[in-house]
Amino acid sequence: MANVTLRNVRKTYAGGFEAIKGIDFEVGDGQFCVLVGPSGCGKSTLLRMAAGFEAATHGDNLMWGMPITGPGPSRGMVFQDYGLFPWLDVRDNIGFGPKSRGRTKAEIRETSDHFIELVGLQNFADVYPHQLSGGMKQRVAIARVLANDAEVVLMDEPFGALDAMTRERLQDELVEIWSRTGLTVIFVTHSIEEAIFLADRVVVMSPGPGRIDNEYQIDLPRPRDIAGTEFNEWRRLLSAQLHSHHGRKVG
């Protein structure tokens, strides 16, 4: 059974702007699905609807077959700008969700420490966000979502603002976390290389109004070699798919 299902979904904004038109989209339990496409194709809109931040204008938006009517702890969102609470240290940022749900102090501490260890920040538990690098902040953001008992993690270009080396390191760590936890991940990126490195499945979207153009099952063994022949064959295929959109009329 699919974790997240969008069935014949459309999204129209004020003034009649149609961001998404007639999308059918399912992500199965434990799958790592990456959305790619040109700017303005509706990737982030689709992600926000799955999170419950936005409602579909038409169609069904479901998790485990039940309507998504708003945000919930089962679906955690990780943004490019981290979204951490600057007045809380790392441990309290990660423990915010369990605390909000009325967990005991001992439970909150146990949960926070578990996910601090999972993302490798044991030496920074008492540090505040302004004292952390961008990569560390993003690890805290991921840990905070996981500590809130998320079953689905929704990631909107989470590594887009990081330098190349930090981005590569966090990609490796995200794959490791995913493989250890069995989470369902829906990840938005502009990077073809990032999509191939991370995904079980890549979904290519077309420019506005957004539609799903094609889907690919990435069957490369892990860990993946970005310099390998098969990896570069996937890179050429997806690049050709995305470049075919150039020159299309948006509207």
What CATH number does the domain containing 16 carry? 3.40.50.300
**Residue in 119, 112, 114 with CA at minimum distance from that of residue 91:** 112
Confidence class for position 131, pLDDT limits 50, 70, 90? very high
- Residue 122 covered by a domain: no
- Residue 209 covered by a domain: yes
pLDDT at 251: 34
pLDDT at 41: 86
- Residue 130 covered by a domain: no
- Residue 36 covered by a domain: yes
Tokens representing 168 are: 């590569």
Q: What is the CA radius of gyration of the chain?
A: 18
Average pLDDT over residues 51-77: 91
DSSP SS3 for 220: coil
| pLDDT tens per residue across span 150-180 | 899 999 999 988 888 889 989 998 999 899 8
Confidence class for position 250, pLDDT limits 50, 70, 90? very low
**Residue in 210, 211, 205, 171 with CA at minimum distance from that of residue 190:** 205
| pLDDT tens per residue across span 71-127 | 988 899 998 887 899 999 999 999 999 998 899 999 999 999 999 998 889 999 999
In the chain, DSSP assigns E strands to: 2-12, 18-28, 32-36, 58-63, 66-67, 75-78, 152-156, 184-188, 201-206, 211-217
pLDDT at 245: 60
pLDDT at 215: 94
- Residue 48 covered by a domain: yes
135 CB-contact burial (10 Å; exposed 0-12 / middle 13-18 / buried 19+): middle
Range of the structural domain that residue 63 is part of: 1-71+184-213+226-251
- Residue 147 covered by a domain: no
Average pLDDT over residues 203-224: 90
Indicate the number of domains in the chain. 1
Tokens representing 48 are: 């926000």
pLDDT at 2: 63
Mean pLDDT of the chain: 90
Confidence class for position 249, pLDDT limits 50, 70, 90? very low
pLDDT at 1: 56
- Residue 66 covered by a domain: yes
- Residue 146 covered by a domain: no
